Structure 1
Amino acid sequence: MPRTSARGGPQTRARILSVAAGLFLERGYDQVTIAEIARESGVSSVTVFNHFPRKEDLFLDRVDDAHEFLRSAVRAPGVDVLDSLQALTSQLADDHHPLSGLNKRSLSFFRTVAGSPALIARARELAADLQQTLTEELAQTFKGDPALLAAFFMAGYTTVLLETARQRLAESPGATVEADHRTRLDHLFTALRQGVAS
């Protein structure tokens, strides 16, 4: 029997995430219920919802990191915002961070998202939230149109990620995927500099 646990705390959250990820990847996102995740985690369904208001957030759990990365990039003192955003996306690629799509677990992640309309819809909502966060941060310092730059950056980075996902799902060689990813990032920032930020 799974052991019971207190309601809150980072250890409870981490255990719920770990259990959910294992079940989702094993059986598919839509075939797993919150009740099953709670039971296997040794907590109640209420506790799961206390940590993750929506089921989709159990799988798309990096969004808080993404918001913080964007805030930190825009707030970097004495650095051009496009330089800072480019450094951020390059660092994500260097680290093979999950948000780059280059992580070794990204293939199973992409397969799971591609197989679930609910996850696809939620991912679009989260991208819109990230765009709003970026717009609000840019409005503090950017001399141009913050909403336009945020929209172009998010659309561009999403396009880079979708192509990386397509190549990963097609099982292209990892080195080729990474090189193409970096080339597309360079093209994105060239376009941003020559367009909206000029």
Structure 2
Amino acid sequence: MRAGGLRELKKTQTRQLIADTAASLFRAQGYDEVTVDEIAAAAQVSKKTVFNHFPTKEDLVFYRADEREAMSLAAVRERPPGVSILDSFRQLCSAQARLIPGIRRDLARPRGFYDLVNGNPSLQRKMYEVNAHLMSTLAEALASEAGAEADDPIPSIVASTLIGAQRTLYRRLRERVASGDDDETIESAHQRDVRRVFDRLRDGLGDYPPQ
């Protein structure tokens, strides 16, 4: 492996170590009770290194936000020829069923992700910022592909609709996992929801942007 590749691997490993360490401390003690100094000490890195990877303490909770944004953008930019954006997002939402085991683990832990966010105003604001940035970035990608004018509201409306569908379907999936149903029942209900939502959206969004 080249030196550049080794450096990138080291950065990725360090970032993951810091994120995992922070998550463990937040679950054990609570978000407000843990300082960045304590996270750095537990991860055996400097405080500066923590901030090099995560500019704010809130970013430590939302460390998967970039991954989520990349997946949503890939549904637009990297979809196969002939596949509509609506169908690409439908596939993305259908694949949420693979998250059932991880959701079970999160719900079984004290102070899981949503427990942390719902109990903290600064994290709620951060979640709003993350979602707003995702919708803005997706709208830009849609506008670029559609060749839309700068003042065209349609890309933003389509982006908000798609992200809203994605978030709502995921929330319902978590609620079903929390209800205690078995995985097969949960997945069947989730796929039914996905079909209903995207069949309803097809009349309005099916050919946007025109190919």
Calculate the TM-score normalised by the size of structure 2. 0.77
Note if contact 2:36-2:57 (Cα within 8 Å) is conserved in structure 1.
yes
Q: 1:121 to 1:24 in 2, by over 3 A?
A: same
Aligned equivalents of 1:113, 1:137: Cα separation in 2: 28
**Does 2:180 match 1:172?**
yes
**1:134 counterpart (116, 135, 138):** 138
So what's the TM-score if we normalise by structure 1? 0.81
Larger Rg: 2
- Relative to structure 1, the CA distance from residue 150 to residue 178 in structure 2 (aligned partners, 3 Å threshold; closer, same or farther) is same
Residue 151 of structure 2: aligned partner: none
Aligned equivalent of 1:188: 197
Amino acid paired to 1:88: L
Distance 1:77 1:143 in 2: 19
Residue 21 of structure 1 corresponds to 23
User: How far apart, in 2, do the equivalents of 1:85 and 1:135 lie?
Assistant: 14
Higher relative contact order (CA 8 A, sep 6+): 2
Runs of 4+ in 1 over 4 A off after TM superposition: none
Given candidates 130, 153, 160, the residue that maps to 2:169 is: 160
Aligned-partner Cα distance in 2 for 1:162–1:188 = 14
Which 10-residue stretch deviates more, 71-80 or 110-119?
110-119
* Native 8 Å contact 1:73 1:84 kept in 2: yes
Across the aligned residues of Structure 1 and Structure 2, the Cα RMSD in angstroms comes to 2.5
Q: Does the CA-based 8 Å contact 1:149-1:197 persist in structure 2?
A: no
Alignment check: 8 A CA contact 1:101 1:164 kept:
no
What are structure 2's unaligned runs of at least 5 residues? 1-9, 149-153
Find the aligned partners of 1:39 and 1:174 in 2 and give their Cα distance.
40
- Say if 1:188 and 1:21 are closer, same or farther in 2 by CA, change over 3 A: same
Residue type at the aligned position of 1:119: L
In structure 1, runs of 5+ residues without a counterpart are 1-7
Structure 1 SS opposite 2:52: helix
Q: In 2 relative to 1, CA 89–13 (structure 1 residues): closer, same or farther, beyond 3 Å?
A: same
Aligned residue in 2 for 1:72? 74
Contact 1:157 1:188 in 2 (8 A): no
